Structure 1
Amino acid sequence: MPKLTEKQHYVPKLLLRGFAVNESKSLIHIYDVSLEKERNEKSIKTYFQESFFYDTDNLIEKYIGENIEDPVGKVIESLKNNTKQLSDEEKEIIIRFIGCQYGRTLASREEFIDLLNDMQKPNMRNILKSGGFDESLADTLRITPKGDDSIRMLTTGLTLNGIIQACYYNDLDVHILENDTNTPFLISDHPIIQYNWLYKDLDSIHTSSLRAKGLMMLLPISSSTCICAFDSTSYKLGTRKQKTTHISEDDVNWINETQVINSHKYIGFSDQTSKPYVENLVKRHKDKNAFNNELSIELGIVIRKQLNFNYKPHFFKLIKSAKNSSTTFLERESFKKLNKDFLDSLLTLTQEALKRTEQHNRQSDPA
């Protein structure tokens, strides 16, 4: 019987190696955002992971490794060693990885639980009020998964949902941002940055949608390289002959700020001299959220609103025709044909995960 993988990463080692401090690619500087304290050089094996984070039988862990991480690992190594024009297949692999990474972290799990509780508050207030209780008690109640197995099932569901959700933005183009400045990129424990510059000032309940026109996703893959997936009907990055864009230090700072804002607990970086810089970013941005849930009493729903940044990066330009539609919400229309073999493997995994959930429910409630 093969040995089970116990230390299951929610930010994979293939990403962390891009921020390693040594040639063996095994150590990384860690800054604990919650404690505002550096943890010095730590092994990438022991951070950005939890014991049996997804499962205890390696069903999900193995699938992610073979179908998500292994393919994108080859693309990322190629990008770090010799930047080249990405093929359509490589772009699809990157988008699939972004979807998985977006849904698989501790931060994603906590955000989902927060959203669930925010959605339930109006109902809880009505129930308390009708029973003659103080309705403000609803603010003190919190729904959370009970037990390790329930938490793992939620994590599995969010991870699979992230992979499936990537189908909603597989039309995005992919461009490489190169950092030649003296300020290296950082990586957080929730490293995917989602933002919509087209609808930055639009008051709409849909601007955070993954189908929204103007969607942009960013992922640093090393201290000097960042992937940008973007709606090519809204933004222009580089030129046909330009494989990469060399970005300014101000733009690097903005990407690093978003890593701090996105972080759940940890920031990783490669150079000890970056510690004062990281400390300063954390002090300035640790209390901000990339998205905030706002309850609409009128609509009876929770609206997820993105943070309104004052600084606009220079590595992209808004296309004129898109600018003209920035005051009205639109969805992107295009979908690329999905890889059948990948869909079949995802369907098989989903069926297995559902079967396991049913078995767990029967064991938990034998009656």
Structure 2
Amino acid sequence: MAEKKKHIPKNQHFVPQFFQRFFSYENDGKTIGMFNTQLDRFINQVPISSQLSSDYFYGRDGNLENWLSKHESDSAPIFREMWEKEKLPINQSPDHFKMLHFMVVLDLRNPIHFKILNNFEKKLPKTKSKISEGNVSGNMVSGLKEHQTDQGKLNSLKSAEQIVSDLLNLEYKLIKNTTSNPFIISDNPIILYNQFFEKRNWKFCSQRDFGLKGFQMFLPLNDSYMLAVYDSNIYKLGTKKQKIVAIDDKNSIDQLNLLQFLNSETTINFNHKASQYYIETLYQKSKKFKKANDTSINVHKMNFPKGYDNHTAQMIEMGVSDLNIKLKIQKLNFISKSSAVKLKSIDNQYRKNVKYKGHVHVVYKLVPIIEK
């Protein structure tokens, strides 16, 4: 007897439904508040089943959808315990790895990630060379196309485990929101920030690669809790012994919520504690800042060392716009020794022993060209 084929859902969520339920309206587990920034439309309750999803976004064969389903089942209890019991995974434990793995996958699985690749694919053939007539080589386009296929998406998400090994030495704590302004999420809820690079005005490549010095991740868990992961060689959050850091400053909460608008594509979500006035006020504030995830390609001419007479190469830097709002959060401060950290080169911008470099930006050196 032939094995019955498993039904593959048409409506596939890129922000897991279990995660959206943490923000459900009056904790009903079924509906959530929604604000559409394109339509300027506020709705108190919409079905979670219809939110933050797209038809067959992860394919029709079920391979990636099934992989994500198991990944979510493994992750959900860990994140629920954070806000229900104020319990964080033990450092270097399997749950610590799963926590970080979920955060990386949440970033890599988002439609914005694949939109960025698609924009690079379109822009690259039109990019002018710095050292020869015409445009740069288009031999990288096939690789960008491959990452956008169903198999490419699956391979990309499976590679997230490699990135996690670079994050295990980062500090992580819970921010407890004790104000009346609730945390909110968006269609791209994982915030990648770097106050250190922002302060240094470091412009070369993206400020948000997972392996960079000063790297930070902020993930709201419900209206009252946010998970913060950060480079403890650069920052301190609360006291050394605190794992739960209470914040009673509304401006700090508003800044963290503002990042959701700037990191989003079109949709903001929230529970019953967020008023229409509050959401619309944040939206108006967000218009003063540049949104994240806009693509750019820069070509740099490079001269070879002595012994390579008349040889030059070009380096193609493909990057995205960062979140930069001069973020300042109560109880999150630079440690004193961070001021002595040097930034002199591309390699120097990464933390020690980082293996995976180039998540948000992609840098290529082309074959040397002899100038005529």
In 2, Cα distance between equivalents of 1:263 and 1:19: 17
Letter in 1 for 2:187: D
Moved more, 246-255 or 313-322: 313-322
Tell whether 2:61 aligns with 1:57: yes
In 2, Cα distance between equivalents of 1:278 and 1:153: 38
In 1, Cα distance between equivalents of 2:342 and 2:195: 9
Q: What is the Cα deviation at residue 212 of structure 1?
A: 0.9
Q: Percent identity?
A: 22
| 5+ residue gaps, structure 2 | 136-143, 302-314, 356-372
1:106 to 106, 111, 121: 111
2:325 to 301, 305, 309: 309
Moved more, 303-312 or 252-261: 303-312
Q: What is the Cα deviation at residue 263 of structure 1?
A: 0.6
Letter in 1 for 2:85: N
In 2, Cα distance between equivalents of 1:85 and 1:50: 32
- Return closer, same or farther for 1:206/1:108 CA change in 2, 3 Å cut-off: closer
Q: Encode CA deviations 1:29-72: one digit per residue, 9 max, x unaligned.
A: 11111111123311111111122221212211111221x21222
Equivalence map 1:57-96=2 (5 Å): 57-66=61-70, 68-88=71-91, 89=93, 90-96=95-101
Tell whether 2:334 aligns with 1:323: no
Moved more, 169-178 or 189-198: 169-178
Aligned to 2:271: 270
Aligned to 1:298: 300
In 2, Cα distance between equivalents of 1:174 and 1:251: 18
8 Å CA contact 2:214–2:230 kept in 1: the answer is yes
Tell me the matched-pair count: 322
Letter in 1 for 2:205: I
In 2, Cα distance between equivalents of 1:259 and 1:214: 20
2:127 to 119, 122, 131: 122
Letter in 1 for 2:291: N
In 2, Cα distance between equivalents of 1:18 and 1:178: 15
Letter in 2 for 1:196: N
Moved more, 166-175 or 298-307: 298-307
In 2, Cα distance between equivalents of 1:270 and 1:145: 38
8 Å CA contact 2:12–2:57 kept in 1: the answer is yes
8 Å CA contact 1:171–1:334 kept in 2: the answer is no
In 1, Cα distance between equivalents of 2:274 and 2:80: 25
SS of alignment partner, residue 222 of structure 1: coil
In 1, Cα distance between equivalents of 2:27 and 2:325: 37
In 1, Cα distance between equivalents of 2:225 and 2:291: 24
Higher relative helix content: 1
Aligned to 1:365: none
In 2, Cα distance between equivalents of 1:205 and 1:4: 39
Aligned to 2:191: 193
1:14 to 18, 22, 28: 18
Structure 1 length normalisation: TM-score? 0.78
Moved more, 304-313 or 4-13: 304-313
In 1, Cα distance between equivalents of 2:43 and 2:73: 29
In 1, Cα distance between equivalents of 2:250 and 2:208: 27
SS of alignment partner, residue 61 of structure 2: coil
8 Å CA contact 2:120–2:318 kept in 1: the answer is no
| 5+ residue gaps, structure 1 | 136-143, 337-367
Q: What is the Cα deviation at residue 226 of structure 1?
A: 0.7
Aligned to 2:280: 279
In 1, Cα distance between equivalents of 2:193 and 2:342: 14
Equivalence map 1:1-367=2 (5 Å): 1=4, 2-66=6-70, 68-88=71-91, 89=93, 90-123=95-128, 152-153=150-151, 155-200=153-198, 201-205=201-205, 207-247=207-247, 248-271=249-272, 273-286=274-287, 288-299=290-301, 300-302=315-317, 304=319, 305-325=321-341, 327-328=343-344, 329-334=348-353
In 1, Cα distance between equivalents of 2:34 and 2:161: 28
SS of alignment partner, residue 19 of structure 1: coil
SS of alignment partner, residue 228 of structure 2: strand
